[in-house]
Amino acid sequence: MQAVQFAGHGGTEVVEYGAVPDPEVGRDEVLVDVKAGSLNHLDVWTRRGMPQLDLDMPHVPGSDAAGVVVDHVGEATWSDSLRSLAKGGRLVTCGATTGGRPETHVQRLFWNQLSVLGSTMATLGEADDALSLVWDGTFDVRIRDVLPMSETARAHELLENREGFGKVVVIPDSER
């Protein structure tokens, strides 16, 4: 992804823009597809450095952003996805792996004027556009493990216990 980074603390000469690795989402985190950010004085103070602020450099700054939260997990993440939205925030749902009937705090929806949007599939042309980003190396397909079919039970465990990250692939034992 493209991002602004501080090479270190200092003046505006430390502000850089360029490609950085895509972020990996932790268990208790959501990934926001940021469409725009607005500067806050916190960005300037962070750039200059503050007592007791101990950041790894380079640092990707940002305190105010506008974007959407995409949830394809369903029940396990739904409440947190909604809670992560600021007033007027948007949640896009496109899957429900852990269940399709999560509880919703309706008051949170109307008080915060939130929008929940459903998204499904794409045209073949859009799918081609997305895949071209795989073929040209922009996106990396993450493989958790490649196992022989005789170890499919282990493949199930990896998925069920959420061990590792990425697709679990099984291939005929003769191909190992």
Stretch that binds ligand NAP, among 41-49, 94-102, 132-140, 148-156 (CB under 6 A): 94-102
Least Å distance, CB 99 to ligand NAP, is: 9
Position 98 contacts ligand NAP (CB under 6 A): yes
2 is an interface residue for ligand NAP by CB under 6 A: no
The nearest distance, CB 55 to ligand NAP, in angstroms, is: 27
C-alpha pair distances (Å), 160 with each of 30, 97, 105, 155, 157? 21, 12, 28, 9, 5
Report CA-CA distances (Å) from 145 to 139, 158, 159: 18, 9, 11
The C-alpha atoms of residue 49 and residue 55 are separated, in whole angstroms, by: 9
In the bound state, the residue with its beta carbon closest to ligand NAP is 95
Q: Which of 34, 83, 165, 176 binds ligand NAP (CB under 6 A)?
A: 165
First-last CA distance in the chain: 35
CB 97 within 8 A of CB 73: yes
Chain positions contacting ligand NAP, by CB under 6 A: 72-73, 76-77, 94-98, 119-121, 162, 165
